[in-house]
């Protein structure tokens, strides 16, 4: 820990029924995935030597019919961690919509609690909007920075529920106002997915993308990968079903409106094919008497029962009343054994832990296209995404997997990626890196840069990453380069780039050129986040009419828009049919319509349209000037067509051996050094080459000893 004291982290999580063990998931609308996330996070944090103390501060209450544990002042989680329950003005359980009158008493109680401690927390971490308000107030009182995890955002819920369940929007303006203040005051914001970081937060006035870090949650998935069906649990499900052996369409979610379980019943009930070939199994929390449950849950359960009756689904749908958390893996295993599919039909899913569970269990998935499932399905390749409001599309997607055994097998095998990819130990490492930077313990390299500094700007995919051995060697090598300023130039967005760099344990860049050169971000003075280069944005905005350009390209019948997350303010992205002449033809089409644009084709099938002034090349030149460097102090490295402008415009350009798009045959790149080593090994090779060339004036070859050689 470099001689620094270990951290005392205080989490603030006020809603739901929070206890250390046997959490009653689904007992009410607020006892859901955020509690599991929090408990898993603190358990992983407790294993970190950088942390020696953790408290989870929540609200104590007493309620008839609920366990007395929720009124206990403290509860031990592990040797480093305890839950602290604060008494507030109201002693009863309150749903999140009714917490706001308790803010003053919660603040006073937490201030008193911290004042009585033998040591103040180093950092606070607020979960949901009400906790964000308390962290903002208490953090200001004690000068303690705080991190914020929204879990779900009011603006997103308002958009999703408008016209669907207007009653669920009561108090939403108040919640959104709290979120605005929290976002503005937080030292850093932790998001679970690109959708959350780049779309959901973008609706807020305080939105600053560089202060948001995507740190994908881990998940303890071993139990799901190794699970077998439990006969007792299977019996509780099968008693509903006339033909239990049919494939299971499985959903596991709290019965709240945003989870859209009714939409899944509609999709199943209106599909004669699905009713004939599969059973629907809905595990919707735990319940005894629906009439005694809180209104939102009771209303959703009533709706499910009415829909089952409307479509006459008796004998086709199972909806068991009880299950223990320990029994959930066996439910997935039963669905897998019967050749089923897991469905997450939520109107918006901030992350989607159940999708990871299904993936680990070898169960293909059909998931909402709104939120974190975009990242999970892209990474694992274990299913398909659908519009959760399109019941016919949902039914078609489910049937497509059930009816194609070869595809079912592919998705089932692909899910194994999740076990290795979503790891709590790695999440905790990244989480504490972020917390340390918020505390000023991880400062960036000092600016302005020394006169003898070299700026190295690398592409990510298939250049910096792609060979784990090379990437690891680069990280070690970079640590010894005191005179090197490291930057990235990528087609990825800011948060996508940060996520893969963190995943690959790559050093933190000083500058990130993202979205094919249309955005530039500089590491801020604290080393916590990134500041957008507004001068660059203003420069490339001149003459750019995004809507008009998109309208012209809509007439080109062979272009298919990429997903919404790939579309940016200064970038339109498409798939092509692989015609190498597409870029020239599109450029001519736009020019004829009066639009001068930068048109970049790479890897045969990717096409990006940018403002005329934007490219990786012009962005690198802007960065060079920003840091006051000469042209001789800049090196760049790339592998594909979207690197051409950067490679062409910089004298010291490096082409790695595993390049594509004929870079080594491009006469405009004749000045480039083509390494015989692939990926990051080629970067090191190229830097060594140009350094020797600078010292001796003679060309030189280098051997890095990297074994990942993949010449085209």
pLDDT band at 33 (very low <50, low <70, confident <90, very high): confident
Which pLDDT score is estimated for 704?
40
Which pLDDT score is estimated for 242?
97
Q: Phi and psi of 267, rounded to 5°?
A: -60, -45
Burial category of 103 from C-beta neighbours within 10 Å (exposed 0-12, middle 13-18, buried 19 and up) = middle
Runs of H (alpha helix) within 89-202: 103-116, 129-142, 154-161, 172-185, 194-195
> In this predicted model, what pLDDT tens digit does every residue of 254-263 receive, in sequence order?
898 889 999 9
Q: Is the pLDDT of residue 444 over 60?
A: no
Average pLDDT on 382-392 reads 94
The answer to whether 607 touches 562, Cβ cutoff 8 Å, is: no
The answer to whether 437 touches 528, Cβ cutoff 8 Å, is: yes
> In this predicted model, what pLDDT tens digit does every residue of 118-130 receive, in sequence order?
999 999 999 999 9
The answer to whether 574 touches 560, Cβ cutoff 8 Å, is: yes
Q: How far is CA 689 from the centre of its chain?
A: 38
**Residues of the chain with pLDDT > 90: what percent?**
71
List CB contacts of 243: < 8 A, sequence separation 6 or more.
279, 315
**Which three-class secondary structure state does DSSP give residue 33?**
helix
Distance from C-alpha of 383 to C-alpha of 392, rounded to nearest angstrom: 17
Task: Tell me how many degrees the CA angle 392-264-329 measures, rounded to the nearest 5.
Answer: 130
Task: Tell me how many degrees the CA angle 438-441-445 measures, rounded to the nearest 5.
Answer: 100
DSSP 506-519: PPPPSEEEEGGGTE
Q: How far is CA 683 from the centre of its chain?
A: 28
* Least confident window among 198-207, 463-472, 597-606: 597-606
**Residues of the chain with pLDDT > 70: what percent?**
95
> In this predicted model, what pLDDT tens digit does every residue of 616-632 receive, in sequence order?
999 999 999 999 999 99
pLDDT band at 397 (very low <50, low <70, confident <90, very high): very high
Average pLDDT on 55-65 reads 94
Nearest CA to 609 out of 569, 637, 578 is that of 569
Runs of H (alpha helix) within 209-260: 222-225, 231-238
Residue 599 to residues 520, 554, 646: CA-CA distances in angstroms? 19, 15, 14
Which pLDDT score is estimated for 446?
57
Nearest CA to 458 out of 480, 499, 486 is that of 486
Which pLDDT score is estimated for 369?
87
Distance from C-alpha of 125 to C-alpha of 148, rounded to nearest angstrom: 6
> In this predicted model, what pLDDT tens digit does every residue of 652-703 receive, in sequence order?
999 999 999 899 999 999 999 999 999 999 999 999 999 998 887 655 443 3
Rounded to two decimals, the pTM is 0.79
Distance from C-alpha of 201 to C-alpha of 529, rounded to nearest angstrom: 15
């Amino acid at each position: 820990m470099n001689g620094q004291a270990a951290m005392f982290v205080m989490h603030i999580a006020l809603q739901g029924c929070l206890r250390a063990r046997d959490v009653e998931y689904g007992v009410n609308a607020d006892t859901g995935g955020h509690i599991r996330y929090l408990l898993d996070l603190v358990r992983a944090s407790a294993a970190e030597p950088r942390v020696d103390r953790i408290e989870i501060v929540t609200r104590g209450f007493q309620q008839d019919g609920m366990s007395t544990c929720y009124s206990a002042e403290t509860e031990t989680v592990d040797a480093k961690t305890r839950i602290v329950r604060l008494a507030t003005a109201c002693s009863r359980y309150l749903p999140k919509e009714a917490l706001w009158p308790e803010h003053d008493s919660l603040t006073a109680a937490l201030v008193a609690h911290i004042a009585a401690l033998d040591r103040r927390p180093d950092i606070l971490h607020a979960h949901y909007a009400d906790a964000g308000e308390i962290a903002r107030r208490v953090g200001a009182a004690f000068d303690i920075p705080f991190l914020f995890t929204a879990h779900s955002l009011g603006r997103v819920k308002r958009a999703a529920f408008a016209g669907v369940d207007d009653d669920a929007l009561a108090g939403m303006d108040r919640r959104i106002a709290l979120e605005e203040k929290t976002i503005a005051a937080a030292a850093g914001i932790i998001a679970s997915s690109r959708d959350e970081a780049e779309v959901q937060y973008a609706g807020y006035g305080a939105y600053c993308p560089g202060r948001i870090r995507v740190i994908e949650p881990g998940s303890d998935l071993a139990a799901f990968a190794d699970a077998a069906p439990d006969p007792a649990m299977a019996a509780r499900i099968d008693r509903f079903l006339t033909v239990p052996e049919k494939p299971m369409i499985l959903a596991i979610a709290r019965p709240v409106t945003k989870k859209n379980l009714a939409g899944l019943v509609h999709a199943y009930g209106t599909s004669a094919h699905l009713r004939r070939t599969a059973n629907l199994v809905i595990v919707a929390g735990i319940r005894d008497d629906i009439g005694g449950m809180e209104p939102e849950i009771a209303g959703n359960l009533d709706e499910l029962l009415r829909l089952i009756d409307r479509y006459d689904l008796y004998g086709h749908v199972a909806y068991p009343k009880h299950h223990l958390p320990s029994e959930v893996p066996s439910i997935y295993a039963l669905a897998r054994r019967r050749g089923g599919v897991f469905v997450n039909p939520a109107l918006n899913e901030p992350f989607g832990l159940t999708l990871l569970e299904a993936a680990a269990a070898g169960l293909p998935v059909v998931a909402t296209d709104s939120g974190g499932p975009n990242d999970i399905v892209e990474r694992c390749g274990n299913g398909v995404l659908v519009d959760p409001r399109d019941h016919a599309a949902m039914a078609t997607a489910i049937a497509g997997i059930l009816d194609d055994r070869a595809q079912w097998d592919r998705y089932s095998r692909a899910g194994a990626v999740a076990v290795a990819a979503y790891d709590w130990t790695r999440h905790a490492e990244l989480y504490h890196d972020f917390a340390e930077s918020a505390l000023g313990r991880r400062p960036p390299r000092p600016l302005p840069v020394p006169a003898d500094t070299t700026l190295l700007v690398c592409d990510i995919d298939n250049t910096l990453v792609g060979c784990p051995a090379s990437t690891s060697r680069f990280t070690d090598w970079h640590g010894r380069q005191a005179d090197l300023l490291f930057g990235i130039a990528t087609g990825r967005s800011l948060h996508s780039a940060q996520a893969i760099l963190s995943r690959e344990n790559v050093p933190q860049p000083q500058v990130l050129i993202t979205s094919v050169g249309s955005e530039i971000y500089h590491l801020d003075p604290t080393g916590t986040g990134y500041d957008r280069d507004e001068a660059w944005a203003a420069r490339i905005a001149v003459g750019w009419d995004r809507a008009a350009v998109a309208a012209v390209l809509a007439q080109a019948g062979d272009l298919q828009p990429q997903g919404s997350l790939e579309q940016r303010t200064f970038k339109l992205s498409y798939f092509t049919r692989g015609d190498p002449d597409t870029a020239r033809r599109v450029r001519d089409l736009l020019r004829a319509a009066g639009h001068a644009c930068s048109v970049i084709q790479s890897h045969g099938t990717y096409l990006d349209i940018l403002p005329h002034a934007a490219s990786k090349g012009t962005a690198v030149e802007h960065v060079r000037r920003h840091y006051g460097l000469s042209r001789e102090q800049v090196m760049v490295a790339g592998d594909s067509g979207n690197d051409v402008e950067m490679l062409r415009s910089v004298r010291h350009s490096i082409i790695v051996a595993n390049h594509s798009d004929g870079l080594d045959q491009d006469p405009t790149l004749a000045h480039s050094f083509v390494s015989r080593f692939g990926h990051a090994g080629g970067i090191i090779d190229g830097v060594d080459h140009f350094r020797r060339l600078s010292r001796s004036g003679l060309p030189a070859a280098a051997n890095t000893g990297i074994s990942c050689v993949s010449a085209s």
